[in-house]
Amino acid sequence: MRKKFCPKCGREIEKIYNNLCKDCFLSKISLIEEIPDKIVIGRCKNCDRIYVGEKNFDSVKDAVDSVLSKIKQKEIKNIDYRIEDNKIYVAITLEVERLIKKEEKTINLFVKPITCRQCSMKFVGYFRSIIQVRAPEKLLKSIQEEIEKQIISFKPNKLAFISKIEQVKNGFDVYIGSKQVASQIAKNLKKKFKTNIKISKKLSGVMRGKTVSRDTILVSIGE
């Protein structure tokens, strides 16, 4: 039987992969360049949310998962990594023509403090809706606590925040970033406290060629 030799390294081979031996063939296949040298993550100084660009995540791990998941090549069988001391140690397992190759790379991880857009808007007093609560004194504290608790449940909504609470006669006013969130909270208050609801709208300006309005939602309970 005629012997076969790899044209690149000259070794005798039994099986050819694209006219090369296994080692020379695998040496031509690499995804190291597809892996970034560094990943920059923003951590909000106020709400502790994690950001990569405009996308936010619950943890650094979720953010790293998102970045690495963008490496989509058919040869990838598995990606493992660990994070230690601002370094991400990545191990990729490739499979080509039933051959397995493993590659490793270290990514520099930078976590920088930022103020996210949501917190910036909150601090400057941005709001799209006001919930005006008017109720007997004995119920005001419970209603305010309920509103603050409900705001937390809407946190995936970037405008689910209270920019300020003003105490007024017979109640208080809550300034909320999202009209949809404020509307749902008002509906929930109606169910729980048997309140009356009245909504009024006021034109507040024009944004990107569209008129913008603010809602005032009166939530009241008679004596």
Residue 137 neighbours by CB distance under 10 Å: 9
Instruction: Return the CA Rg of the chain.
Output: 29
Q: pLDDT of 202-216, one tens digit each?
A: 877 655 667 778 999
The pLDDT-based confidence of 155 (bands split at 50, 70, 90) is confident
Q: What is the mean pLDDT of the chain?
A: 89
Q: How much is the average pLDDT of 15-31?
A: 85
Helix and strand counts by DSSP (H, E) for the chain: 5, 13
User: In whole angstroms, what is the distance from residue 166 CA to residue 144 CA?
Assistant: 11
CA 59 to chain centre: 9
- Strand 171-176 to 99-114 pairing: unpaired
Are the CB atoms for 211 and 201 separated by under 8 Å?
A: no
Tell which residue, 113, 116, 118, 111, has the closest CA to residue 41.
111
User: In whole angstroms, what is the distance from residue 182 CA to residue 129 CA?
Assistant: 6
pLDDT attached to residue 147: 96
User: In whole angstroms, what is the distance from residue 29 CA to residue 67 CA?
Assistant: 22
Q: pLDDT of 74-86, one tens digit each?
A: 778 888 999 998 9
User: In whole angstroms, what is the distance from residue 210 CA to residue 223 CA?
Assistant: 41
Q: What domains are defined for the chain?
A: 1-29 (no CATH), 31-114 (no CATH), 117-220 (3.10.20)
Q: Does the pTM of the predicted model rise above 0.75?
A: no
Are the CB atoms for 93 and 81 separated by under 8 Å?
A: no
Name the phi and psi angles at 123, rounded to 5. Answer: -70, -30
Are the CB atoms for 64 and 39 separated by under 8 Å?
A: yes
Residue 4 has pLDDT above 90, yes or no: no
